[in-house]
Amino acid sequence: MKRYELLDAIGGIDPTYVETADRDDKVGKKRVWKTLVPIAACLCLAVGMISIVKYAQLRKATTPPESTGDGTGASATQAPIGAFTSTNVTDVNHTIISLDWPAYESAHELVEAGNIVVLGKISGISFQMYDIKTGRPPSADSYGSDVYLHTVYEIETLTFYKGEPAETIHMRMIGGLKDVMVDEQRALLGDCAKANIPLLAGMLELDIGRTYLFVLHQYEDTMPTLLTPSQGVYTVDNPEQKDVLSLVSLKDIISYFGDDKWLAFEQTFGKK
């Protein structure tokens, strides 16, 4: 068609038809939006619910006695499981796991919440994958998203204040360690290691050969875990120093079991 013929054809289009078509197009768009908006809202709600469920599962795995979790890390589980932020350290990626833990106002509350209170020396460190919903190693029924890397500490016990005495106990805590046995952690994580090694925010660095006072929670027959990272472990260097929440000290905890227990501690470690 020649150019002038095309212009004549366009000019011959009925303007009423154009207006009607334009109006129908707008109505069609409105119908599409009316359809898409509810779908988008449902998708957002679904994503939100999935996030809430996963948070609840992790909190359950790391929450103390009064919760239904197994007590690992507030129980191999804890909230806002809030913030997950990635940080590059040399060629290793780390994810910081930030959780909400209960605060115990006194030695009485703290000791009553724990199953085990023991003075002991770290004699070994290893790593293991645990299902945060059961507090046990993953099984055929475990979902991959519920399996997290944990640090396992071997403790040579010196004095038991609460719990069934044993020469050696093991304690687990959700998350790995920075710059410690990195190859072992990556081997356990497998493909996940390409993304990160999880680190628990607020966790005190525990050294092999050093002595600490531990307040642990044990869920059923699973490996015990710290009651909380901020109030579950204390160094013996300054026994009167309060925890990071300024609520309880090592001396408060040992003295709770009797003045004779505190005297025995002083005789062993000297007044600090």
Per-residue pLDDT reduced to its tens digit, 28-42 = 544 544 555 555 555
Contact between 151 and 176 (Cβ < 8 Å): yes
Q: How far is CA 170 from CA 27, 46, 115, in A?
A: 68, 40, 14
User: Does the pLDDT of residue 199 top 80, yes or no?
Assistant: yes
Q: What is the pLDDT of residue 12?
A: 40
233-235/168-174 β-pairing: unpaired
Residue 125 pairs in a beta bridge with 153
- Residue 76 sits at the vertex; the CA angle it makes with 146 and 253, to the nearest 5 degrees, is 175
Joined together, the tokens standing for residue 171 give 């304690």
Contact between 117 and 253 (Cβ < 8 Å): yes
Q: How far apart are CA 185 and CA 217, in angstroms?
A: 24
The whole-chain average pLDDT of the chain stands at 76
Q: What is the pLDDT of residue 83?
A: 34
User: Does the pLDDT of residue 139 top 80, yes or no?
Assistant: yes
Higher pLDDT, 66 or 22: 22
211-217/116-131 β-pairing: antiparallel
Contacts of 167 by beta carbon, 8 Å cutoff, 6+ apart: 156, 157
Q: What is the pLDDT of residue 145?
A: 80
In this predicted model, what pLDDT tens digit does every residue of 215-241 receive, in sequence order?
A: 999 988 899 999 999 999 999 999 999
Q: How far is CA 44 from CA 29, 72, 82, in A?
A: 22, 31, 19
In this predicted model, what pLDDT tens digit does every residue of 46-81 receive, in sequence order?
A: 545 544 444 444 444 444 433 323 443 343 333 223
| b/e map 196-235, b = 16+ CB within 10 Å | bbbbbeebbebeeeebbbbbbbbbeebbbbbbbbbbbbbb
Q: What is the pLDDT of residue 133?
A: 86
**Which amino acid type is present at position 44?**
C
Q: How far apart are CA 155 and CA 166, in angstroms?
A: 10
User: Does the pLDDT of residue 213 top 50, yes or no?
Assistant: yes
Contacts of 21 by beta carbon, 8 Å cutoff, 6+ apart: none
Secondary structure (3-state) at 1? coil
Contact between 228 and 236 (Cβ < 8 Å): no
Number of alpha carbons in the 13 Å side-chain half-sphere of residue 254: 24
Contact between 174 and 76 (Cβ < 8 Å): yes
In this predicted model, what pLDDT tens digit does every residue of 148-197 receive, in sequence order?
A: 999 999 999 999 999 999 999 999 999 999 989 998 998 898 875 555 89
Contact between 71 and 63 (Cβ < 8 Å): yes
The alpha carbon of 219 is separated from its chain's Cα centroid by a whole number of angstroms, namely 17
